Amino acid sequence: MKSLFFPLLVAGAMLTSYVSFGQDWQYLSQKLPDNQAIMFAPYLLSTNFNERDMAISPDGKEIYYSLVLSRTSAMIMVRRYENGKWQAAKVASFSGKSNDIEPAFSPDGKKLFFASSRTLTGSGTKDFDIWFVERNADNTWSAPQNMGSPINTAENEYYPSLDKNNTLYYTAKYAGGVGGEDIWASKFENGAYQKPEVLSGVNTGKDEFNAFIDPNGSYILFSSFGRADDNGGGDLYISLKNADGTWSAGRNIAFLNSAALDYCPYVSADGSYLFFTSEKTQNLPTTNNPFKTTDLLRRFMTPANGRGDIYWVKMSEVLK
């Protein structure tokens, strides 16, 4: 019984203990990936629970990610590097009371955007809107602010991502779009966000969702479901910006995708590493090797159990 519950205890320790592996503190002191995607921080961040969509502060000292408990219950978690140690994971100060997902930093790190189904009054839930918090002088966060019109509508708005000009990219299913969920962009001009425009070229009649924009605007990473080259659960794609400002048709990033859902792309501020979420599983049973009850319990209590884990890979491999 001790060995059976060990993985769960390790995962639980993530929430209560410190992590310090030496001088190389960045990325939770994890071994850096090479040309193949590997799980990011198994048992420390990727656990037997459902973790997805992450964002790292420009200085590398804060990691935010979503912990999803159910379709109607999720919160944004944070780990901070302070006093020479990665501190225990905890619920972000602005989260924990509503259904909050998909954190994204502004280029200067002074704002953190996210999607939430919270209401303006703080009581009950509604459709998803994009919200943000601002960093205070003492490094705490302000109270959450709803972005309002023209970004938020009576429809759902998801997955904020900003380029260096503070143009906001996000996904929504609007009338007047290409079809299904589309990628939209709203320019920041004269101190205000402008009417969103659907991206030309990259959107199709299928669902395009979870879009991450390169801060320099040269590429966009996203997930799509239902395309002819989809592996079945929803795959990661990349689209490059054309000289005329339109976007190339998305290319399936085949070496990253599985038969499960692969989504929520994010690239580190220096452009070195792509992080993404996958619901792929490992050690599936076969006819000749069925799981025993203890095997099933053990698998449920470890990462790669189909609930969602975060992986990472060199971004240079994606851009080849």
Q: Is the pLDDT of residue 303 over 90?
A: no
Q: Is the pLDDT of residue 193 over 80?
A: yes
Give me the residue label for tokens 């095997």: 295
Give me the residue label for tokens 């954190």: 103
**Of 167, 170, 169, 166, nearest in space to 157 by CA:** 170
pLDDT mean over 34-42? 94
Please, which pLDDT band fits residue 53 given cuts at 50, 70 and 90?
A: very high
Long-range contacts (CB closer than 8 Å, 24 or more residues apart) made by 301-304: 301/4, 301/5, 301/7, 301/8, 301/11, 301/48, 302/7, 302/11, 302/48, 303/39, 303/42, 303/43, 303/46, 303/47, 303/48, 304/39, 304/280
- Can you tell me the distance from the alpha carbon of 306 to that of 40, in angstroms, rounded to the nearest whole number? 15
Please, which pLDDT band fits residue 23 given cuts at 50, 70 and 90?
A: very low
Model confidence pLDDT, tens digit, residues 94-146? 999 999 999 999 999 999 999 999 998 876 678 999 999 999 999 999 999 99
Who has greater pLDDT, 67 or 72? 67
pLDDT mean over 253-281? 96
Task: Give all strands of the β-sheet with 38-39 in edge-to-edge order.
Answer: 38-39, 309-314, 273-278, 262-267
Please, which pLDDT band fits residue 281 given cuts at 50, 70 and 90?
A: confident
pTM over 0.75: yes
Who has greater pLDDT, 95 or 283? 95
CA distances from 46 to 55, 65, 279, 302 (A): 14, 10, 11, 9
pLDDT mean over 182-206? 96
Domains of the chain in start order, with CATH, are 2-319 (2.120.10.30)
pLDDT of 125:
72
Q: Is the pLDDT of residue 293 over 80?
A: no
| Mean residue pLDDT across the chain | 89
pLDDT of 295:
67
3-class SS of residue 292:
coil
- Can you tell me the distance from the alpha carbon of 172 to that of 152, in angstroms, rounded to the nearest whole number? 10
pLDDT of 124:
67
Maximum C-alpha span of the chain: 66
Q: Is the pLDDT of residue 314 over 60?
A: yes
pLDDT mean over 241-258? 94
